[in-house]
Amino acid sequence: MFWFRRDLRVDDNHGFYQALQGINKVIPIFIFDSNILNKLDKKDARIEFILLALGAIDSAMKRNRCTVGIYHGTPKVILNELIEKWPISKVVCNEDYEPYATKRDKEIKKFLSQKGIIFEQYKDQVIFQKNDVIKDDGNPYKVYTPYSKKWLSLYNEKPIIHFSSENLLDKCYNSSSLPKCSLSDLGFFKSNLTQPKPILNNTIIDEYEETRNFPSLDKTSRIGVCLRFGTISIRKAVEQSISRKNHTFLKELIWREFFMQILWHFPHTKKSSFKPQYDRIEWRNDENDFKKWCIGETGYPFVDAGMRELNQTGFMHNRVRMLAGSFLCKHLLIDWRWGEAYFAKKLFDYEMSSNIGNWQWVAGCGVDAAPYFRIFNPTEQIKKFDKEFKYIKRWVPNFQETNYPKPIVDHKEARERCLLTYKLALNKI
């Protein structure tokens, strides 16, 4: 049995390829984990994205008269039902490194071993995992630049290997009896959001350095959601990026793996600051201010544009993410965990390690973070990155009219308040 999870494609799928190597036929399945679904909004557009990806897998398999079974429930219960129904000798999947997933897989491995069934996992969603990239003394890197240099040196030591799972689909079990699920079967409803259309081509990669900071240009690849759910191969994305002269785009893919290994080595960062002294900050946590930030009514157009883009599309440009995050933590003195949770709920491309890593970066409390005294000026950011107001006008068309909200806080006063609060927490005064 092959268990699709965060690898929703038939091509260059490492675990799927390994499963298809054996003499036995392979039953492909996907489980909508009720432990996860029960916590989501019933119009969460990511469920629709997953169903579309599973539909694409089914289409690819049809020429071999096979299909993927889609189940809904807790993984242990579903797997128990399936191994009682089928003579399964082995369950294969690709590794997932988030805290919930590692705990779940540890329990699944123990459960299956008690039934005499092998549980095999393979590396697929990253180039380097866990302890693949560490210092010479065996400790994990906590700073991005030396990590990225080591990452690149290891990558260049041997050629990347692809896994042509797409050529072995005839090894799948031929059955039309495997179940399907619809949105309504899962208790969900169609979202108003448009499903993302990722673009990864040489032009996007080559121009990324000069265009990536200007949200009005809309020159980002939008592949975050594809990497999150594995609808594209990270090996192919990295190989294409590294073949180009400009490696700025590649560095973003390495950042993703840097934050993944941080969460793996330091799972406490899911809820706590990497730098524990920052957990002493006396956050204001004003709920009314937080609500205004969420709906994009802070009176700061660049921040509001980003939040409205997020709410209406499930996406926010990375430059604006930094500004909106910094504004919440430093101007409003609201706990980064509140912002992280809101992004987790709204972002199509939400990936726990990157989201936590970047939120702790803007709050100053994470690995290789921006210093606490770095406080973005929302007005100056417009001059640098949206001086013609093209992006702002798209999302906040009334920003120059009298009905637009007054600034929720004065920048200078907020900056001074932030510096004092941080210094008190860090015993700087």
Quick check: helix, strand or coil at residue 31? strand
Average pLDDT over residues 353-368: 96
CA distance 21 to 66: 17
pLDDT for 58 equals: 93
Average pLDDT over residues 210-226: 95
* pLDDT tens column, 46-86: 999 999 999 999 999 988 889 999 999 999 999 999 999 99
pLDDT for 380 equals: 97
Please tell me the class of the 2-123 domain.
Answer: alpha beta
CA distance 198 to 227: 10
pLDDT for 371 equals: 87
Reported as a pLDDT band with limits 50, 70 and 90, residue 9 is: very high
Fold type of domain 126-161+201-265 = 1.25.40
Domain ranges, ordered by start, for the chain: 2-123, 126-161+201-265, 270-425
Token duo for residue 32: 């909508």
Q: Give residue 159's Cα distance to chain centre.
A: 26
CA distance 334 to 190: 32
Reported as a pLDDT band with limits 50, 70 and 90, residue 177 is: confident
Token duo for residue 275: 């730098």
pLDDT for 429 equals: 65
CA distance 317 to 216: 9
pLDDT for 406 equals: 97
* pLDDT tens column, 86-104: 999 999 999 999 999 999 9
Reported as a pLDDT band with limits 50, 70 and 90, residue 271 is: very high
Q: What is the pTM of this model?
A: 0.95
CATH of 270-425, one of 3.30.365.10, 3.40.640.10, 1.10.579.10, 3.40.50.300: 1.10.579.10
CB neighbours of residue 222 within 10 Å:
16
Token duo for residue 346: 């709204």
Average pLDDT over residues 161-180: 91
Percent of the chain with pLDDT over 70: 100
Render 224-250 in DSSP notation, one character per residue.
HHHHHHTSS-HHHHHHHHHTSS--HHH
First to last CA, the chain: 60
Average pLDDT over residues 262-283: 96
